[in-house]
A and B are shown apart, each in its own frame.
Chain A
Amino acid sequence: MRKSEGSTRRQFLGIAGTAAAIGTIPVVSLRPVAATPETMTAAIRNIIGSATVRTGKVKLDVPPLVENGNTVPMTITVSSPNTAEDHVKSIHVFNEKNPQPNIGNFYLGPRAGRGQVSTRIRLADSQKITAIARLSDDSLWSATADVVVTLAACTEEVI
Chain B
Amino acid sequence: MASALINVPKKAKRGDVIEIKTLMSHIMETGYRHTAAGQVVPRDIITSFTCRYNGEEIFRADLFPAIAANPFITFFTTATESGKFDFEWIGDNGFSEKASATISVE
Contact = CB atoms under 8 A, between A and B. Distances in A.
Interface of A: 30, 32, 70-72, 75, 95, 98-100, 102-109, 111-114, 116-123, 153-159
Contacts, number: 115
Interface residues on B, range: 20 to 34
Given A106-B61, A157-B34, A158-B35, A117 B68 contact: no
A100 B35 CA distance: 20
A127 B69 CA distance: 20
Interface of B: 17-18, 30, 32-36, 38, 41, 53, 56-69, 71-78, 80
A96 to B, nearest CB: 11
Contact of A107 (B34, B61, B67, B73): B61
A103 B67 contact: yes
Contacts of A153: 68
Given A30-B38, A122-B30, A157-B35, A106 B67 contact: no
A113 B15 CA distance: 9
A120 B65 contact: no
B31 to A, nearest CB: 8
A113 B72 contact: no
A113 B18 contact: yes
Nearest to A71: B68
A20 B60 CA distance: 49
A105 B76 CA distance: 16
